[in-house]
């Protein structure tokens, strides 16, 4: 994204700490993929990023165990679709309530220490539920409170992780690093549900949560082994948390490219991602393939995402990232329309893979341009704004569900895809700063 960096510099950016000094990076490298010379995994040569990436993969595996287990336990306890939605929706509430402040904290304190504290908190809360489940004393309200408390921990994980990545890999490998982080999550999306279901049958809910405790605890060790560059010092007295948060919002408003990127992220969160909530209708009413077929559709969606992230990582540093991102958004919208109207299941699965491939490519490019444009002292606050948009997914799900009840799921997704495509084309036409990124 050479032109985005040039634009940041021309605008007076003082971002001289996007990465650690070259000599420091060189000392922290090891080469697990050097013999194969695979550019796809080049970022893993950097020891600190390899540790962060491995930890993210383990955390994603733990999240799938948690999601499968909580959903099944709540269904057993209540048999209610409402409580199933509630247990999953509560996880996103902290993003909206404390997301901005978590990013501010990530810009004020030692980021490695913040990751350690957050990870320890997640281990502790998960261990409490594991004990309740193993002893047979868990009640519904325990699980609901845990879902909310777990979301509070994750509200800190995302901003600090995104703030750390650009400081531990070279600038030219930033896109590859972000793509690899996404690929870790998408790999677990493919195998996680199946493994989680198997463990649930074999060991029960308490066993699943106990495994998750072990997984989360292992990440603490990895964080302890990392070397994370310190947060840049600022001259003068330190402002309050509220003042720092307001400073971050002013910073974003002052840069047109950041406003454009953040507004664009709202599009897939509210108009594309909600299609997943309607897949059960396609599995049950459109293609008559039942629960097993639904699982297959979800898995193939994950395969499409993995193909997208690994392909992007293999390409390396993409030029004209802004235009590429906008075209991916348009392609995602078109693929949604084609998926919704596919007459055969096999064709629908192909389009579903394409939707996920372009979606994850769009998100990765958006994230990379964002990281490359901001100064190091603002990374946490801008990342928290990025995370806030994930909290909008439930609103999109609610709107999509209501529309599907009136006009049907296929027509609803077609309309969503059409709006996504239209917004992407308008963006390509109007957003000059994005065309230069």
CB 29 within 8 A of CB 153: no
Domain membership of residue 12 (yes or no) is yes
Stated as kind and residue range, the H or E segment containing 303 is helix 290-315
CB 329 within 8 A of CB 420: yes
With a CB cutoff of 8 Å and minimum separation 6, the contacts of 404 are 278, 281, 412
Cα→Cα distances 8→233, 257, 302, 322, 380, Å: 21, 10, 35, 14, 18
CB-count burial class (<10 Å; 0-12, 13-18, 19+) for 304: buried
Is the pLDDT at 251 greater than 70, yes or no?
yes
Give the span between the Cα atoms of 39 and 173, in whole angstroms.
10
Nearest to 261 by CA among 123, 369, 407: 369
Mean pLDDT of 261-265: 87
Residue 103 zone, left/alpha/beta (φ > 0; ψ -120 to 50; rest):
alpha
Domain membership of residue 140 (yes or no) is yes
Domain membership of residue 120 (yes or no) is yes
pLDDT in tens, 136-195: 999 999 999 999 999 999 989 888 888 898 888 888 888 888 888 888 887 887 777 667
How many Cβ atoms are within 10 Å of 277's Cβ, its own excluded?
18
Is the pLDDT at 8 greater than 60, yes or no?
no
Stated as kind and residue range, the H or E segment containing 372 is helix 345-373
pLDDT in tens, 63-105: 888 887 887 888 788 877 677 767 777 887 888 788 778 888 8
Supply the CATH number for residue 327's domain. 1.20.1250.20
Cα→Cα distances 2→9, 31, 318, 436, Å: 11, 26, 9, 9
Stated as kind and residue range, the H or E segment containing 65 is helix 47-78
pTM to 2 decimal places: 0.73
pLDDT in tens, 347-372: 999 999 999 999 988 988 888 888 88
Residue keyed to tokens 């990751």: 115
In order, the DSSP letters of 378-422 are GHHHHHHHHHHGGGGHHHHHHHHHHHHHHH-HHHHHHHHHHHHHH
Give the span between the Cα atoms of 19 and 341, in whole angstroms.
46
Is the pLDDT at 330 greater than 80, yes or no?
yes
Domain membership of residue 411 (yes or no) is yes
Mean pLDDT of 307-328: 80
| Residue 368 structural domain | 2-28+38-233+240-436
Predicted local confidence at residue 23, as pLDDT: 36
Nearest to 154 by CA among 410, 415, 390, 393: 390
In order, the DSSP letters of 144-193 are HHHHHHHHHHHHHHHHHHHHHHHHHS-GGGHHHHHHHHHHHHHHHHHHHH
Domain membership of residue 33 (yes or no) is no
Domain count, the chain: 1
DSSP-derived secondary structure letter, 343: S
């Amino acid at each position: 994204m050479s032109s985005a960096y040039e634009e940041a510099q021309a605008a007076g950016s003082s971002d001289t700490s996007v990465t650690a000094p070259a000599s420091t990076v060189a000392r922290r490298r090891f080469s697990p993929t050097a013999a194969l010379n695979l550019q796809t995994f080049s970022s893993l040569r950097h020891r600190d990023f390899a540790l962060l990436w491995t930890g993210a993969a383990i955390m994603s595996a733990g999240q799938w165990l948690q999601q499968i287990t909580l959903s099944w336990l709540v269904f057993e306890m209540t048999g209610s679709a409402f409580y199933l939605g509630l247990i999953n929706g509560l996880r996103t509430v902290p993003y909206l309530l404390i997301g901005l402040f978590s990013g501010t904290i990530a810009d004020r304190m030692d980021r490695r220490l913040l990751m350690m504290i957050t990870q320890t908190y997640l281990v502790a809360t998960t261990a409490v539920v594991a004990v309740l489940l193993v002893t047979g004393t868990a009640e519904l309200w325990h699980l609901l409170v845990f879902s909310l408390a777990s979301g509070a921990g994750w509200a800190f994980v995302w901003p600090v992780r995104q703030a750390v990545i650009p400081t531990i890999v070279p600038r030219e490998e930033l896109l590859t690093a972000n793509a690899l982080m996404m690929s870790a999550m998408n790999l677990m999306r493919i195998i996680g549900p199946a493994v989680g279901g198997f463990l649930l049958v074999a060991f029960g809910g308490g066993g699943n949560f106990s495994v998750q405790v072990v997984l989360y605890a292992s990440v603490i060790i990895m964080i302890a082994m990392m070397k994370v560059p310190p947060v840049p010092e600022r001259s003068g007295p330190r402002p309050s948390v509220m003042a720092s948060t307001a400073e971050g919002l002013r910073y974003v408003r002052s840069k047109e490219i950041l406003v454009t990127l953040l507004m664009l992220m709202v599009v897939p969160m509210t108009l594309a991602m909600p299609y997943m909530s309607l897949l059960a209708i396609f599995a049950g009413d459109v293609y008559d393939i039942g629960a097993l077929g639904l699982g297959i559709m979800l898995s193939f969606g994950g395969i499409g995402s993995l193909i997208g992230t690994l392909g992007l990582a293999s390409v390396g540093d993409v030029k004209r990232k802004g235009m590429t991102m906008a075209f991916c958004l348009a392609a995602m919208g078109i693929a949604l329309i084609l998926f919704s109207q596919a007459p055969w299941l096999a064709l629908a699965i192909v389009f579903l893979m394409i939707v996920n491939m372009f979606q994850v490519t769009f998100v990765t490019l958006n994230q990379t341009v964002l990281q490359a444009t901001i100064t190091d002292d603002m990374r946490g606050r801008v990342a928290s704004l990025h995370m806030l948009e994930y909290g909008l997914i439930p609103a999109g799900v609610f709107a999509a569900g209501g529309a599907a009840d009136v006009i049907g799921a296929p027509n609803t997704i077609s309309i969503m895809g059409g709006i996504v495509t239209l917004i992407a084309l308008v963006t390509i036409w109007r957003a000059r700063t994005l065309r230069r990124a």
